[in-house]
Amino acid sequence: MWKPFKKSIAALGRGDIPAILERLADSVEWEYGVNSTDVPWLQPGRGRAYVAEFFATAGAALEIHRLEHKTFLESGNIVVVLFDLEMTVKATGKRIVEEDEVNIWHFDSQGKVSRFSPPSRHASTRGRLQHRDCQGGDSRQPPAAPAAAASLARRLPARVSRTG
């Protein structure tokens, strides 16, 4: 599971969405455990077709400048990825810089992604993303996710891999 997953993450960084879709279970839960928001690309959904729509919506709304996956924590069927992201909301020109964000990937017995939790699952990040493109000033925010990653790392006997 580990090596094919890292290749899929690399494909995401290149914008190769078909490579990501291949690694998803048919009934993948995307943005599980969250309610709908007013941000079109931050909606919970299920299935590969929904995830393809998610990437199309996000791609139409955002210009990604940098996506750097820095740390991977693995335990059993869960992989936690710590990453940095820089993007611009196309409609407003608002630049967003996210540092030390966390994605949580759950895998089924066939090694396919069965659940995905983006950084927007975390309440403080979700609040920034909902209102950020409407606010003036610096969009750089203190990272909310490192504490979550550290907490998970303490609870899981994880193998850690650093990229870079």
Specify burial of residue 136 (Cβ count, 10 A radius: 0-12, 13-18, 19+): exposed
pLDDT at 130 over 80: no
> pLDDT tens across 61-79, in order?
999 999 888 998 999 999 9
Count the domains in the chain: 1
- 116 touches 30 (CB < 8 A): yes
Domain span at 54: 2-162
> pTM here?
0.70
State the residue for tokens 């870079």: 164
The pair of three-digit structure tokens given for residue 22, joined into one six-digit string: 């291949």
Q: How far is CA 57 from CA 53, 54, 76, 137, in A?
A: 6, 5, 32, 26
The CATH number of the domain holding residue 147 is 3.10.450.50
The pair of three-digit structure tokens given for residue 52, joined into one six-digit string: 């393809």
pLDDT score, position 158: 45
pLDDT score, position 34: 65
> pLDDT tens across 76-124, in order?
999 998 989 899 999 999 999 989 888 899 999 998 999 998 765 444 4
Q: Average pLDDT of 23-37? A: 82
- What's the one-letter identity of residue 46? R
